[in-house]
């Protein structure tokens, strides 16, 4: 189909206006076919963006190195341009929408000269499903289109579902590097010093300029499925969350679904694909990064994974830590900022084997182990099809979603937060989510290991005032007739005095999932012990059979440090004050209750 043949007038008009603004050499409407994907990959080999990996090692897969100035999400260049600053709230960068449009029009003017402008219709969620939504990304990056092919459902079926008048989110993207006459094309074009990742929540549109990397450029992911979707979800009474979704089956064959919100690079992909170390239990993956949830007719909360692939952290992924991820990326995948071995395979720190001599680092230079630098960038990523995951859940593409029994929050926290605790109520769970604090990771540009509040793991992803977002969660819990999931807060990252993790993590996290599973069926505080923070496992209810862990270590992991929590209270109070009148009274009340349970004098 050509652009002129498109029957959707608003879509055709937007494409034509964008083309006249950006001035591309040609326009291509993507059909989503395998032939199109293969052709894109061939083009990317010509520009030096892709190097094919060895057919014996990783069939039909490619290695890409980014510009060193374009390696992660850029939170300080990400904007929520609602009409008022207040609507964006204190946690987002705000700019006046008219002023921002003026800046963006200037940047996009002629930005695609000498390039192909790709028009990519895509669906977040199974095409045509009741919870699914359509976006159209216009981009001048073939790398982005190839990744969108894996990460979302793209092409003709989406256009059909869109029909003549359907709603879509316009997502405009340019790497900001026109190819001028006589200039060679470069492998990773970008405008590293002038990035703008901009959202217009009222208009429900996205403009992204200057970056070709991950969440900055694959606009279906964080920009649409979280920032724009949160604002849709608030208006329409559902939830768009930075959560994995997994199914867990007990030895009797009973199954429950669990969603979990952990900040970027804090273990969602690993938990979603976990292989239980406890006999007879099974975990299956619905999604590893994003959940869209709404109540079903039976009153339960149903979740879909809006994505179709995994954009996973490569370093630390190995046959022993996450064999299911290793199988997912065994073929048909794209690897960005990994190292390349002389025999045409990829490598990264923590893959489990030493780096072969003569490997290239993430910049394509011969790797020198004596340099002390990592060979793969810490935010190196694989883009792999979800379908290829050996433990993909049979229901993962059910357009109605799967019923959620428990919601987990978590973060990277060396101290203070116990291995697991359960909320006393829905408002208490919302309180827990609101105070999540985590050490920053390489997933975003900026300082590493800095402790910050990352409420609901949504700090960089909430498209409106975070105080109102907390209120929306409280409202959802008050839905008449709702059968509510239970809330838990986990921390795999508590460290001992020696600086080492106290908990082995990964597959051993199944022990915590088992307790969560059993708590969902339990009456009252069966299997649990009350603490000021919430319910922690009664020692005999946490299955540690076959695990070598010293009793004092387990005590420390499950302990609630009253003094440390008393010391946290003023900081939480100040943090809450930053939301002003947007902080729901119900959360202030939960903070007061925590203070009372801790025995604080006020
Ligand atoms: P995003 O894709 O950025 O949203 O990240 P994610 O939340 O999916 O994180 P992922 O599962 O990719 O894990 C990130 C890092 O945490 C990797 O280096 C993992 O090896 C490490 N990790 C994951 N689970 C555990 C765990 O249970 N214990 C410890 N110590 N590390 C873990
Ligand atoms: C994250 O940072 O949470 C990611 C990677 O999942 S990105 O798609 O780049 O946002
Ligand atoms: Mn993520």
Q: Summarize pLDDT for 288-340 with one digit per residue, the tens.
A: 999 999 999 999 999 999 999 999 999 999 999 999 999 999 999 999 999 99
Going by CA atoms, what residue is nearest to atom 20 of ligand 1? 316
**CATH top-level class of 3-30+73-236:** alpha beta
Backbone phi, psi, residue 390, to 5°: -60, -25
Given this model, what pLDDT does residue 197 score? 99
Q: What's the CATH fold of domain 309-388?
A: Phosphoenolpyruvate Carboxykinase; domain 2 (2.170.8)
pLDDT at res. 184: 86
CA distance 219 to 232: 16
The CA-CA-CA angle for residues 334, 337, 342, to 5°, reads 85
Interior angle at CA 16, CA 10 and CA 18, nearest 5? 100
Q: Please tell me what DSSP assigns to residue 457.
A: G
- Number of other residues whose CB lies within 10 A of the CB of residue 145: 25
For domain 241-305+396-599, say whether CATH 1.10.10.10 is its number: no
Q: What is the DSSP letter of 228?
A: I
Tokens, residue 478: 């008050």
Specify the pLDDT at position 1.
84
- What is the position in ligand 1's atom list of the atom closest to the CA of 441? 3
Atom from ligand 2 closest to the CA of residue 73: 9
Enter the pTM of the model: 0.98
Closest residue (by CA) to atom 8 of ligand 2? Answer: 215
Q: Strand 301-304 vs strand 309-313: parallel, antiparallel, or unpaired?
A: unpaired
What's the pLDDT score for residue 484?
A: 98
CA 343 to ligand 3 center in whole angstroms: 31
- Active-site residue, 22 included: no
Residues in CB range of 221: below 8 A, 6 or more apart:
151, 214, 215, 289, 290, 307, 311
Please report how the helices 466-477 and 426-434 are oriented relative to each other, as an axis angle in degrees rounded to 10. 160
Task: Let me know the angle formed at the C-alpha of 539 by 537 and 541, rounded to the nearest 5 degrees.
Answer: 65
Closest to 560 in 3D by CA, of 528, 587, 513, 512: 528
The pLDDT score that the predictor gives to residue 169 is: 98
Comma-separated ranges of CATH 3.90.228.20 domains in the chain: 241-305+396-599
Expressed in angstroms and rounded, the spacing between residue 264 Cα and the centre of ligand 3 is 5
Token duo for residue 48? 């030096």
Among the listed residues 223, 266, 389, 462, the single catalytic one is 266
Query: What per-residue confidence (pLDDT) applies to 601?
Result: 57
Instruction: For residues 243 and 259, give the distance between their C-alpha atoms in angstroms, rounded to a whole number.
Output: 6
Q: Which listed ligand is nearest to 72 at the C-alpha?
A: 2
Cβ-contact 304, 291 below 8 angstroms: yes
CATH 3.40.449.10 range(s) for the chain read 3-30+73-236
State whether the Cα torsion 478-479-485-488 is positive or negative: negative
Cβ(131)–Cβ(399) below 8 Å: yes
Residue nearest to atom 3 of ligand 2 (CA): 264
Could you tell me which residues come within 8 angstroms of residue 371 by beta carbon, excluding any fewer than 6 positions away? none
Lining ligand 1 with CB less than 6 A are 262, 264-270, 288-289, 312-313, 315-316, 321, 443, 492-493, 501, 505-506, 509
- What stretches in the chain show pLDDT beneath 50? 602
């Amino acid at each position: 189909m050509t652009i002129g043949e498109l029957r959707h007038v608003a879509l055709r008009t937007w494409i034509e206006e964008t083309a006249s603004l950006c001035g591309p050499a040609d326009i291509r409407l993507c059909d989503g076919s395998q032939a199109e994907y293969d052709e894109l990959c061939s083009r990317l080999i010509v520009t030096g963006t892709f190097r094919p990996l060895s057919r014996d090692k990783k069939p039909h897969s490619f290695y890409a190195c980014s510009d060193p100035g374009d390696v992660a999400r850029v939170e300080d260049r990400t904007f929520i341009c609602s009409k008022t600053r207040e609507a964006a709230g204190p946690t987002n960068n705000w700019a006046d929408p008219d002023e921002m449009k003026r800046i963006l029009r200037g940047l996009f003017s002629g930005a695609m000269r000498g390039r192909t402008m790709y028009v990519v219709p895509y669906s977040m969620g199974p095409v045509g499903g009741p919870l699914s939504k359509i976006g159209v990304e216009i981009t001048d990056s073939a790398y982005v289109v190839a990744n969108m092919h894996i990460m979302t459902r793209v092409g003709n079926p989406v256009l059909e579902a869109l029909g003549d008048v359907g709603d879509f989110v316009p997502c405009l993207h340019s790497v900001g590097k026109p190819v001028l006459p006589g200039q060679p094309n470069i492998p990773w074009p970008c405008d590293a010093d002038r990035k703008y990742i901009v959202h217009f929540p009222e208009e429900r549109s996205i403009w992204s300029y200057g970056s070709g990397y991950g969440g900055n450029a694959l606009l279906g992911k964080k920009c649409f499925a979280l920032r724009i979707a949160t604002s849709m979800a608030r208006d329409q009474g559902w939830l768009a969350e930075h959560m994995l979704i997994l199914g867990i089956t007990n030895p009797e064959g009973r199954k429950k679904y669990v969603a979990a919100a952990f900040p970027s690079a804090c273990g969602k992909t690993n938990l979603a694909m976990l292989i239980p170390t406890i006999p007879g239990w099974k975990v299956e993956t619905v999604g590893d990064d994003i959940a869209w949830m709404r109540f079903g007719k039976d009153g339960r909360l149903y979740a879909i994974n809006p994505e179709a692939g995994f954009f996973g952290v490569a370093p630390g992924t190995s046959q022993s830590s996450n064999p299911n991820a290793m199988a997912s990326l065994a073929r048909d995948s794209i690897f960005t900022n990994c190292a390349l071995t002389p025999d045409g395979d990829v490598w990264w720190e923590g893959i489990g084997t030493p780096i072969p001599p003569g490997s290239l680092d993430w910049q394509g230079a011969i790797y020198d182990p004596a340099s002390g630098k990592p060979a793969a960038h810490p935010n190196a990523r694989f883009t792999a099809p979800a379908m290829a995951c050996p433990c993909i859940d049979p229901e993962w593409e059910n357009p109605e979603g799967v019923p959620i029994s428990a919601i987990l929050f978590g973060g990277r926290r060396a101290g203070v937060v116990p291995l697991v605790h359960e909320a006393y109520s829905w408002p208490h769970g919302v309180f827990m989510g609101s105070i999540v604090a985590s050490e920053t990771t390489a997933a975003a540009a900026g300082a590493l290991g800095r402790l910050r509040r990352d409420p609901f793991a949504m700090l960089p992803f909430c498209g409106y005032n975070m105080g109102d977002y907390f209120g929306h969660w409280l409202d959802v819990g008050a839905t008449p007739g709702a059968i509510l999931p239970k809330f838990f807060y986990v921390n795999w990252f508590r460290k001992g005095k020696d600086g080492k993790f106290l908990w082995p993590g990964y597959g051993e996290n199944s022990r915590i999932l088992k307790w969560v599973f059993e708590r969902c069926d339990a009456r009252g505080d069966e299997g649990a012990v009350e603490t000021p923070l919430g319910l922690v496992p009664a020692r005999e209810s946490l299955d540690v059979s076959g695990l070598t862990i010293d009793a004092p270590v387990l005590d420390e992991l499950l302990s609630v440090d009253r003094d440390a929590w008393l010391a946290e209270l003023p900081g939480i109070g100040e943090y809450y004050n930053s939301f002003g009148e947007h902080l729901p009274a119900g959360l202030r009340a939960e903070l007061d209750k925590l203070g009372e349970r801790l025995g604080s004098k006020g």
